[in-house]
A and B are shown apart, each in its own frame.
Chain A
């Protein structure tokens, strides 16, 4: 078969797998790389609270009414708040809360959206129509007022005990869940669109011609191929969720004080804005920096995953 044997495969970019190529492209996206560094530093900053609490014995909840609104000092690097609590350690612990809610709510809502999107896209027809009407209905809702209503829902009316309803854990999970409930639609639509296009690709049709069913095709062909847009969408969702959390906590429906979060630290900043403007600036600035870094990271990932951005 000498005449039909193809010559050796050109080895130009042979050894480089797709993920290496993407990482290389991402590294060249300056804003994305800078954001990655900023986010790592922010995470370190928030986690540094753990050794400070345990080793240095700093307590984010320790009030000192004699030391309210203290300016920055050797003892309180960023001063104290209206209850005389150390602002720095509260920012660090509050950051843990905000980031954790961001990641968890994205994971819960994202996975739900992923499942809805894949099923709607793959099966089409009635399943698709039903799921998408549902999603459209969700999108038509006035989100923020609804979040507030959900945040105000009395858990005892749903049959939870009143101790649980008042506990910090309930407050934390409540906000994770309600944000997840309202923020899965974007991912569901995106995944559906990606699934629709991939299921018509020839490699999926070849598998189906060999007798592959949905349980084979979805994990083997669909999910790996929708992975890149999903990663980008998840990243952007984290940013949006952090904003949602801050708004809800700010309005008093999110993380319940005294547990700090960046949002609820701004809770009564409005009244204090003239007396202690710094207390209003720090948490907001941290939210802003975190979310903008997350968004630039998403942009960098998008650039790295786009096959057209060769260079």
Chain B
């Protein structure tokens, strides 16, 4: 078991290394380079000065060499300075990461609970009316463009009804728990709805599959009541594939977070990366992307461990 986790962490680190190079090269392909911005504020710079700066920042070196130098610094926690914030990258990133995790975890838990309830109800009578209604809801969740949903919610609940604030994480001068919670309602609903749809479909499919199995018939043949057959015998089996997919999807939630944060002006990782890319803040964008990759890799690892923990047939070696 320990050996398995060790091996998986090693594999993940390897993936992370490769990805850091890929992302590093891609960032380098974005328009402009670090000097452009510096020069923009200092239009009088002569070509000699530019050349000197280029050397100073190592921009005349080949990509691989620049990457290795960056890696060397990154390995000791030096991710450089954020140009747009004029702060070390980590001090911009850490609060944003915390904010995003809060949003993602609340939405994730909400959508998991909702998906289990709806998915099981739908699976009890496939093709029934309840199944139809739930399927419609689930497909709507999968199919709705997240940014548009956010827009519509702002339009209805903030602009028209004034139920919830349209943006930010707290009102200036208030910032109490109730105020913060109110600011979270719409982002959480937006983010949760998309994944709830997908999760509900998985729970439903998995439950239908399991309810067809022989051992469910055995449970009935024992004289177990229907609720017991569904919630004890079928559910535990249906959980195995579903939990794996859910854990894997935690990383995918990041996509939604980027949009949700942008739409509701929440100072999280997603918005930070988006702004960094727009503002040519290379160091911040690069580090942000890497941290997002780490979150995905971690959720993959958790998915594997959960699989081994839930399914006694799987021996993680």
Contact = CB atoms under 8 A, between A and B. Distances in A.
A140 B154 contact: no
Contacts of B110: none
Interface residues of B, number: 50
B274 A145 contact: yes
A142 B291 CA distance: 9
Interface stretch (B18-26, B42-50, B307-315): B18-26
A164 interface: no
A284 B148 contact: yes
Nearest to B205: A302
A149 B145 contact: no
Contacts of B30: 149, 152-154
A246 B150 CA distance: 14
- Interface SS majority for chain A: helix
Interface stretch (B78-86, B223-231, B255-263): B255-263
B283 to A, nearest CB: 14
A235 B29 CA distance: 33
Given A140-B297, A140-B300, A142-B296, A288 B144 contact: yes
A58 interface: no
B26 A247 contact: no
Contact of B293 (A141, A250, A295): A141
B297 to A, nearest CB: 5
A266 B151 contact: yes
Contacts of B135: 31, 299
B277 interface: yes
B115 interface: no
Contact of A140 (B15, B26, B151): B15
A31 B155 CA distance: 30
A286 to B, nearest CB: 10
Interface in A263-300: 263, 266, 269-270, 273-274, 277, 280-281, 283-284, 287-288, 291-292, 294-296, 299
B26 A153 contact: yes
Contact of B142 (A142, A150, A283, A295): A295
Contacts of A152: 30-31, 277
Interface string B269-286: 010011001000000010
A178 to B, nearest CB: 11
Interface of B: 12, 15, 18-19, 23, 26-32, 132, 135, 139-140, 142-148, 151-152, 154-155, 159, 248, 251-252, 254-255, 258-259, 262-263, 270, 273-274, 277, 285, 288-289, 292-293, 295-297, 300
23 contacts: A136-B15, A137-B15, A141-B293, A141-B296, A145-B274, A145-B277, A148-B277, A149-B26, A149-B277, A154-B29, A154-B31, A246-B147, A247-B145, A263-B145, A266-B147, A280-B155, A283-B148, A291-B143, A291-B144, A292-B139, A292-B143, A292-B144, A299-B135
